[in-house]
Amino acid sequence: MSMGGGITGGGAAGPGSTPGNAAHGHPPMQSQSPLAGRPAPHLRPVGGPEGGGLGGGGLGGGLGETMRGPSGLRHDPLNSPLGGGFGGGLGAQRGQPSADTELPRFTMTVNGGLRGPGAVGAPAMLKGLTPELNGLLREAFTPTRPKQQLNSLFIGRTDTLKRIISAIEEERAHVILFGDRGRGKTSVANAIEKIAGQAGYLSLKLTCSAELSFEDIFRHFLKKIPSTYYRSGIDNPFASRRSFTSFNELLPEGGFSVTELNEVLAGIHATHVLLILDEYDRVTDEDFRNKLAELFKNLTDSSIPVTLLVVGVAENLDQLLGKHPSIQRSLVPVHLPLMTDVEIGRLINAGAENAGIAFAPEAVDRICEFVRGLPYYAQLLGLHAARSAVSRGSTVVERDDLAYAVTRCLQEAERGIVDSYARALAAERRAELEDVLLACALCPADAYGTFDPKELAGPGGAPPTKEALGILERLCREEYGGVLAPVVEPGWTRYRFRNQMMRQYVLMRQAHERGQI
């Protein structure tokens, strides 16, 4: 496939989204900002006249080397004739404080629970990258661990929190929170745990693993429910009272059935128990999944004051829970979307404020365009860029700091992503494959990362060639990395990156190798 013309991202006039395919009833695509690459006559430029470019430079040296442009000299992104590859002029719109910054709350308390958001102060800026400041930056930017506090660092998930709270409080339904890695599901679960606790719920959370059985997990939960919540003698004042410490003691020795567990939970009164099972995708035992499905149904049918919030990596309910049609009416599925550019900007600027530093608007723009709505990479780029700025004695993060952060992110990428990327491009036509893979990463996508191959069309809106579509099909095959996954619908096939973090890796890797950050 011969390539000419430029691969560009959509010229983003603002943080909103571009219209989706209304004829097919699909959600609107996320707005994309310009990023140009090698010539590609068969790929329609996705975007406006800003263009920009990842162009020039060819395939640079190793990832640990200094960023270099096509001349071999150190590339100065601020004064480069290559232009602002990832720029989009969104600095004036991203990262601005929202008038609605208050987190949603449960409106009714359970048993007189207390309310009130936490707060974290921001110590004054220290000079140099001291251990204290390094710790402060890690608190402000937390890519490797979920958010624990309800404060200004918890950004962009208000609608999701409202939906979960509504399902628990108003619909009395169990909730399944799912989505790709890196979207912040555990942070949302932590927020729900704390918000529910403020409303008086007895909120308990456990991280699943393949080693833990159904009995292990629910014994763990019942040990945390004190006997003070037992309905002893309420219905029959002449019944003898049992002396015990926790609800676990009400279960029989050894194994127990779902029915026996349900009967024990039926003894709960004077509170509402919220049980959160995080990383449920780690559970591979089919018996476990069947028992959980039975428990969902039993709890709903018995109107017991116990709600389950199950959190896991998946693209649909069947992947996480298996096929159990009978429990669908008991569940509210919540598919966690990617964040918008505005939310990513607010996340970066909130972290900077808490650390006592600032990000140049252009650096925020570039981070938004690299991360494409994934908060994990926003935190990681923010952390490394902030460290770079502080280590050179500055309180403002600039584009040069971002270049360092990109290099660090590439060095720290998951081995599975690096291997898949290498297999995807292992062919004589590497340059063509790189162009198509980059075009896929730049393609406008919906809130869940799915894109339409029609957006890769050539000049004048012509549909993509058979050769280009063939490359997309090749990228779906395991022997070529399995980078993409087809989303098949009647008469229509769209695509998504199998691992959403691959999209960000492609953007950063190609920007690095082509000498344009």
pLDDT at 63: 41
pLDDT at 67: 38
Which residue, 28, 33, 27, 30, is CA-closest to 13? 33
Beta bridge partners of 18: 29
H/E/C letters for each residue in 287-346?
HHHHHHHHHHHHHHHHCCCEEEEEEEECCCHHHHHCCCHHHHHHEEEEECCCCCHHHHHH
Residue 288 to residue 258: CA distance in whole angstroms: 11
Query: What DSSP string runs through 163-192?
Result: HHHHHHHTS--EEEEEE-TTS-HHHHHHHH
- Angle at alpha carbon of residue 382, lines to 506 and 50, rounded to 5°: 55
pLDDT at 376: 92
For 405-442, how does the pLDDT look when each residue is reduced to its tens digit (9 = 90+)?
999 999 999 999 999 999 999 878 888 899 899 999 99
Q: What is the pTM of this model?
A: 0.71
Distances (CA, A) of 498 to 181, 385, 501: 11, 28, 9
pLDDT at 498: 94
Environment class of 5 (CB within 10 Å of its CB; exposed 0-12, middle 13-18, buried 19+) = middle
* Residues of the chain predicted below pLDDT 50: 1-93, 95-99, 112-127, 144-148, 150-152, 233, 236, 238-240
* Domain residue spans of the chain: 1-81+358-517, 158-335
Environment class of 176 (CB within 10 Å of its CB; exposed 0-12, middle 13-18, buried 19+) = buried
449 near 483, Cβ under 8 Å? no
CATH class as words, domain 158-335: alpha beta
What residue type is assigned to position 195 of the chain? I
Residue 96 to residue 417: CA distance in whole angstroms: 33
Total Cβ atoms within 10 A of residue 23? 7
pLDDT at 123: 33
Which residue intervals of 316-465 are DSSP H helices?
A: 317-321, 341-355, 361-371, 375-391, 399-411, 415-424, 430-442
Residue 83 to residue 401: CA distance in whole angstroms: 18
pLDDT at 5: 37
Place of tokens 């099909």: 473
Residue 149 to residue 408: CA distance in whole angstroms: 27
3-class secondary-structure state, position 25:
coil
For 23-59, how does the pLDDT look when each residue is reduced to its tens digit (9 = 90+)?
444 444 444 433 334 433 333 333 333 333 333 333 3
pLDDT at 428: 80
53 near 516, Cβ under 8 Å? yes
Residue 321 to residue 290: CA distance in whole angstroms: 8
Tokens of 453: 């191959």
